[in-house]
Amino acid sequence: MESYIKSIRSMVGDTFIMLNATSVVIVNEKNQVLLQKRSDNHLWGLPGGLLELDESIEEAAIREVKEETNLDVRLTKFIGVFINPCMTWRVTDKAKVFAFSFAAEVLSGELRVNDEESLEFRYFDYDDLPQIHAQDNIDSIQAYFQNKFHLVEGKSYE
């Protein structure tokens, strides 16, 4: 099945659109956050990505982490919805992105780079973060470390 974004782009070309995405904050035992160095812009960001039509937000978050990192995770908290007013892929593919951000714990798997999307993974201290590629990722990380979590319709992930 063709991905949702490819289907939309085949209809609208590079017209500015709105998209839904996920981002996932994973921290290790040292309270460092896992970031991926993206292959498209060589900047750092959280694991996550765009939703497909046939999945829930939670399913997308778990799928994207698995695809990008090879880790199986359990979502533990909903952090919030954060907006990237203009995310750019390639040179002309632009969208306003609404990112649903979660905290997660690793259940299994060994961290492995997906060559299509990532150059490397590394854990960083909150006070020593590299340049982050997207505003929604910055906001998600800040909310996590400031302990500002939100519930959706009373749903708890604990």
Return phi, psi of residue 104, to 5°.
-145, 155
Return phi, psi of residue 108, to 5°.
-165, 175
Greatest CA separation for the chain? 46
55 is catalytic: no
The tokens describing 72, both together, are 């199986």
Q: Which of 29, 52, 68, 120 is catalytic?
A: 120
Q: What angle do CA 53, 103, 47 make, to 5 degrees?
A: 60
The DSSP line for 38-72 is: ETTTS-EE-SEEEPPTTS-HHHHHHHHHHHHH--E
How many C-beta atoms lie closer than 10 Å to residue 52's C-beta? 17
Catalytic residues: 120
